[in-house]
Amino acid sequence: MQLTELAIDGVFEILPTRHQDERGYFAETFRSDWFAANVADVPFVQENQSLSRSVGVVRGLHFQAAPFAQGKLVRCVAGAIFDVAVDIRRESPSFGKWVATTLTAEKGNQLWIPEGFLHGFCTLTPDTQVSYKVTNYYDKASDKGVLWNDPQIGIQWPDIADPASLSAKDQVQPKLADLPAYF
């Protein structure tokens, strides 16, 4: 596996090695011992999957507060997404900064987002499926977020990002300046 740390400490893009022949390919997409030695020694306790039918669907920006804070290992199993992580660790030198990468099923790359980050994405193709492992269970009371287009954060979303695709919850998220200190 190839590992690339992005511009914010602790956020990694992971590219599994694909062994190809005339039939297609084989890849190990996750290996606990390698992940613990190279990225983070964390347990994964739940795996989630979403389907977004249209191009430009925006999901996020989400996180879970303690005691149910989550790290996420995200991959696109069909289609492509513009995937974003925003640092909301108050004492971090990169607080309020964001990084993004394009995850595609074709490439097979993944994004590791540790606890203390917002996560969101925009679909780049129709019928996009996203799968992600998390380090803690979903808890409705701990489910939090920030407005996807908060100007203080300044994410440069793709032009196709469609505000009409936001869930009711995501349409009314607070701005970062109004978010209590969770991390």
Active site residue 25: no
Strand partners, 145: 62
Strand partners, 87: 117
Phi first, then psi, for residue 66 (nearest 5°) are -60, 145
SS3 103: strand
Which of these is catalytic: 19, 62, 138, 182?
62
Specify the DSSP element, H or E, that contains 113: strand 110-113
Residues 6+ away with beta carbon under 8 Å from 98 = 8, 84, 85, 86, 87, 153, 154, 155
Which of these is catalytic: 25, 132, 137, 182?
132
Active site residue 182: no
Active site members: 62, 132
